[in-house]
Structure 1
């Protein structure tokens, strides 16, 4: 009986470690894990490992990331209070995450629009855009003035630049970048607030100030509290193999229940 009780206790402990305890999906849960943050070089290498060593495809990771983004946005700015959303997409993987998020957000009940100023000709991105159009997502070719944006939408999603960004902002993307900086609307940034240094945050100049940050896979150095104080912070991307976690010495929070995102700050 003694050994049976010990075994049961150990099994319960393991379940709590891997499943985040007995929290159910949708319950409010804030992690207090002391995180490890990635450098830009580590973030790039981790992605390459996922592709090369663990055989993930770009499509897979983009779909999982976009779903995580849509879920986190809905947790903080639900369609019941913020029914109209504009997603600003860049030409890289971060923009692809935004295209996926747009499709999921329409299914969550949002009226979604996309601004995609520099489109990528790769079939993956063309397919994602076609899917958005099939779901009724409005494609906005020209951004209105910030005041008009404030009147037309209730929340913006920043999917312009990811962790590969290096300044300066290209001319064809400057209007989109300025809109994100100047708006009075809440801005939800995908993985990295656009225009920020991946390791050193917003810098001293004019910079985007998101109200929500959704880190993907693992948070980067610019997501430290000293840079995002007062910003709601979620982690998404519940797909990292144990080998990746070990290789990069990651300290990650437990995802509650079957959730795809976990809140890092309340």
Structure 2
């Protein structure tokens, strides 16, 4: 497993919410990345991370099923793209998207999933139903850095907090403060930090932590002193050397 730092390397930078927003602004305005482009890059990287955390040959279930729970904000769109790529990787994703965004961009991502025959649930299964439905994992793309869970998300998080199947949180575990972290609530087994880890990732105690930020231009990495990990070969994500304990 690759490490965040090694001999002669500075420690990996953990971003404040303001720093993450500043990087996003620079990518959009100075480097002319499009929102659709960034969502696509990140959603693909998240699917790659899921495939590394739960390789197809190792899954205990006969069917490689994954439930992707999406919120209405941008992280939900990342979840939709993640589900689409999981389908192309040979998984069987199902999506729960209770409050669909009316933004044309997000609607396009929804249409892509529908056209690929990815099922959309009309309700979130209970804890028992989630287990009995033989899902191998749940992808948490509900809130991201939005820390205040209004309905219907508060009830969703209450259910996810008690499930006994692995949860993969995208960027910031839903319900956590992006800087302070969270107490109680969701305890993901896997965290996929987008662009760079947020400060809350220092409190992550799960099984695997991936960073998906290889696409970030070198000058942006240098300006914000990201001290990015080394990505092996052509990989778009890298697994850090275990959860932080400090």
1:26 alignment partner in structure 2: none
How much has 1:229 moved relative to structure 2? 2.5
Matched, 1:126 2:132: no
TM-score scaled to structure 2, two decimals?
0.91
Q: Distance in 2 between matches of 1:181 and 1:69?
A: 21
* Aligned position for 1:115: 96
- Alignment partner, residue 21 of structure 1: none
Secondary structure of the corresponding residue to residue 67 of structure 2? strand
**Which of 156, 166, 170 is 2:150 aligned to?**
170
Where in structure 2 are the equivalents of 1:218-233 lying within 5 Å?
218-224=196-202, 227-233=203-209
Gaps of 5+ in 2: 6-10
Instruction: Determine if the alignment matches structure 1 residue 240 to structure 2 residue 216.
Output: yes
Task: Write the distance in 1 (CA, Å) between the matches of 2:67 and 2:77.
Answer: 15
Specify whether residues 190 and 91 from structure 1 end up closer, same or farther in structure 2 by C-alpha distance, changes over 3 A only.
Answer: same
Match of residue 2, structure 2, among 20, 30, 36: 30
- 4+ runs of 1 displaced by more than 2 Å? none
Tell me which residue corresponds to 1:194: 174
Q: Kindly tell me the number of residue pairs found equivalent between the two proteins.
A: 232
Structure showing greater Rg: 1
Render the CA deviation track for 1:26-56: whole Å, top value 9, x for unaligned.
xxx3214121100011111111111001100
Moved more, 170-179 or 53-62: 170-179
1:156 is matched with 138
Q: Which runs of 5+ in 1 are unaligned?
A: 1-28
Instruction: Provide the residue aligned with 2:192 in structure 1.
Output: 214
CA RMSD of aligned residues (A): 1.2
The residue number in structure 1 matching 2:43 is 66
Q: Which has the higher helix share?
A: 1
Q: Name the counterpart of 2:32.
A: 55
Aligned to 2:161, what secondary structure does the other structure show? helix
How far apart in 1 are the matches of 2:31 and 2:147? 28
TM-score, L = length of structure 1: 0.84
Q: C-alpha deviations, 1:92-125, integer Å up to 9, x for none?
A: 1110100000000011111110000111001111
